[in-house]
Structure 1
Amino acid sequence: MRMINLRYISNWRVLLIAVVVLVCLLLSSQLGVVKPYEIVDPLDILGEGSTLFLTILIVIFTVTDRPRGNVTNLFYSGGLLLIFSMTLDVLDEFFRYPDALRLLSWLESFPLPVGLIIISFAAAEWRRENKMLSRQLMVREKNLRSHQWVDPLTSLYTTPYFIKLVEREIALQNSTDAESTVLVSVNFKNFAQYNHEMGTKAGDELLHQASELMVLLLRPQDCLCREHSDHFLILLPQTRLSQADRLMKVIAQNLNSELELPNYMSVEVHTHHVEELSAVDAITALHTQVEEMTHYAPLAN
């Protein structure tokens, strides 16, 4: 719980919400006078205050738990305007303003519809995003639906399912003139250190975000599975090695930038052109290549 709270506090967008509330309080206290206790309506305070509190919680959960992107930014921008208007509305119950002063009335009324319009655009983008995610979920399932092979953390398929797909691609490649098949290994270097420093919950969240990002960036015919821990395997059917290298370069760049990895972490990607006659041999050859490159890297330094 302590780690989660620190994550919320360290998010600048959460801090900006607190700044907006403080600005509203400063405006009301400077431009108005405190109402007598007798005319304060507790029911209005309870209703408007609880609505404001829930709105703030929803916005905080949106910006901290959703992946970054246009949808999250729109929800946050619209929510920030709602919080601004609703905070001034709550403070109206505590402060009285001069009749000639219309500034706070405008500030209370104008941002509200603008915020709702922005949230409407966010909802439309969210709908499009969900359609894309549904299509990617269908890509994950391919032709097999044995859900005992689904990884519970990332919702990706595990190695047994991956082996069956590779076997199918090898059979197709040998029986037709289809283009070659490429296997890819994606590892997060020093993930154990990240788990130790940030906690297992943060590590699980990192793997979940990484899997979602890779699924979005891969092609419909590709298949991603979680082999174990921070190791992922990707099947790129009917793909030349040069094409695979270009695609995985883009994916690695996005993983490094979007996940905000610490300096000691990096994404390691290795591609292998499948020439073996069985899936197990192909995956073993990929692992051997990864081990050789891992042992070679320190010598190159």
Structure 2
Amino acid sequence: MRFTNSNFTGDWRILLTIAIALLCLLLSSQLGSLKPLAQIDPFDLLGEGSTLFLVILAVVFVVNHRPLGNVTNLFYSGGLLLIFSMTLDVLDEFFHYPDSLRLLSWLESIPQPVGLVIFGFGALEWRRENKMLTRQLKAREKNLRSHQWIDPLTSLYTTPYFIKLVEREIALGQNTSAEPAVLVRVNFKNFTQYNNERGTKAGDELLHRASELMVLLLRPQDCVCREHSDHFLILLPQTSLSQANNLMKVIRQNLSSELNLPTYTSLEIQTHRVEEVSAADAINALHKQVEETTRYVPRVN
């Protein structure tokens, strides 16, 4: 099974889950004695075993598919307590314990409600997270809802949608005295090498996580689109160049720390104040600015 969380976090969590199950087996075998087959109730075993299997499946799904964060930690912690309690409950069908031994009975009963309470807190955090993601999605869509312009990998909008937004901001800027918009181009340096070393699946995961982080870090009125490959375009409406540069510093720091980029991969970010009369001219000016900047960067052998 392949886990997608960075730094193999998913792997150690799965290993910890297995260790908890083995600990339960060790406790039951050391403190109890095996029951005769005739005393094992197959219906109880089927009901308790299937419930335990579903809980384990849910924990594996959370670890494997959810990004790291408070919601994931709460779901995993609550699930781990449930697995501990329910594993002992299943093993109770196979082992007989002395009447004077109450320890395993407590271990079966106490962790389960605690785990459910932690699950409840995780559900509340998940609800808040969904609200924030919904707000970000609305901020992405702005006034247009042409979903053929959505990039299938990152769920960001593509260049045609971005051009529409820039045209709108230029038109609005001509009728107001507010700050003009700022365009930003974000690019992963040596992304081809990253793909070659780690595979295209890892590269796609990097772009997907980067897009999610940028959407969460940008303001509600901002918009980020995927131009192509590892290039992203960002529109910052009514923003001064100094404000844009400060915001990009924050985004650079967070992307670099959260994505755990290798030393040969870095972020190239270029900002451009929109003073052109058309979106095409503004985007071309941004690209020309990028080319002029990279042209004079000394090559290191």
Q: What range is the shorter-chain TM-score in?
A: over 0.9
Cα deviation per residue 1:9-40 (whole Å; 9 max; x = unaligned)? 96221221111111111111111112222212
Matched, 1:275 2:266: no
Q: Which residue of 2 aligns with 1:139?
A: 139
More deviation, 139-148/188-197: 188-197
Q: Which residue of 2 aligns with 1:264?
A: 264
**Residues 34-183 of structure 1 aligned to structure 2 (within 5 Å):** 34-183=34-183
Q: Which residue of 1 aligns with 2:15?
A: 15
Tell me the CA shift for residue 127 of structure 1. 0.9
For residues 234 and 33 of structure 1, the distance between their equivalents in structure 2, rounded to whole angstroms, comes to: 66
Give the aligned residue type for 2:11: N
For residues 237 and 9 of structure 2, the distance between their equivalents in structure 1, rounded to whole angstroms, comes to: 44
Q: RMSD of aligned C-alpha atoms?
A: 2.2
Cα deviation per residue 1:36-71 (whole Å; 9 max; x = unaligned)? 222122332222222212211211211221111111
Give me the TM-score of the superposition, normalised by structure 1: 0.92
For residues 227 and 239 of structure 2, the distance between their equivalents in structure 1, rounded to whole angstroms, comes to: 21
Cα deviation per residue 1:101-154 (whole Å; 9 max; x = unaligned)? 111111111110001001101111111111111111111111111122111222
Give the aligned residue type for 1:165: L
For residues 149 and 10 of structure 1, the distance between their equivalents in structure 2, rounded to whole angstroms, comes to: 33
For residues 280 and 5 of structure 2, the distance between their equivalents in structure 1, rounded to whole angstroms, comes to: 44
Which runs of 5 or more structure 1 residues have no equivalent in the other structure? none
User: What SS class does the counterpart of residue 297 from structure 1 fall into?
Assistant: coil
Give the aligned residue type for 2:282: A
Q: CA 1:14–1:276 in 2, change beyond 3 Å: closer, same or farther?
A: same
Matched, 1:33 2:30: no
Pairs aligned (count): 300
Give the aligned residue type for 1:64: N
For residues 46 and 197 of structure 1, the distance between their equivalents in structure 2, rounded to whole angstroms, comes to: 46
Q: Which residue of 1 aligns with 2:215?
A: 215
Q: CA 1:9–1:218 in 2, change beyond 3 Å: closer, same or farther?
A: closer
For residues 78 and 254 of structure 2, the distance between their equivalents in structure 1, rounded to whole angstroms, comes to: 27
Q: CA 1:18–1:297 in 2, change beyond 3 Å: closer, same or farther?
A: farther
Q: Which residue of 2 aligns with 1:287?
A: 287
Give the aligned residue type for 1:253: Q
Give the aligned residue type for 1:11: D
Tell me the CA shift for residue 100 of structure 1. 1.0
Tell me the CA shift for residue 279 of structure 1. 1.3
Cα deviation per residue 1:165-198 (whole Å; 9 max; x = unaligned)? 1112122223321102111111222322333333
For residues 90 and 198 of structure 1, the distance between their equivalents in structure 2, rounded to whole angstroms, comes to: 42
For residues 38 and 237 of structure 1, the distance between their equivalents in structure 2, rounded to whole angstroms, comes to: 74
Q: CA 1:82–1:168 in 2, change beyond 3 Å: closer, same or farther?
A: same
Q: Which residue of 2 aligns with 1:251?
A: 251
User: What SS class does the counterpart of residue 297 from structure 2 fall into?
Assistant: helix
For residues 3 and 126 of structure 1, the distance between their equivalents in structure 2, rounded to whole angstroms, comes to: 24
For residues 76 and 287 of structure 2, the distance between their equivalents in structure 1, rounded to whole angstroms, comes to: 43
Give the aligned residue type for 1:93: E
Give the aligned residue type for 2:177: D
For residues 162 and 170 of structure 2, the distance between their equivalents in structure 1, rounded to whole angstroms, comes to: 12
For residues 122 and 290 of structure 1, the distance between their equivalents in structure 2, rounded to whole angstroms, comes to: 44
Q: CA 1:146–1:9 in 2, change beyond 3 Å: closer, same or farther?
A: closer
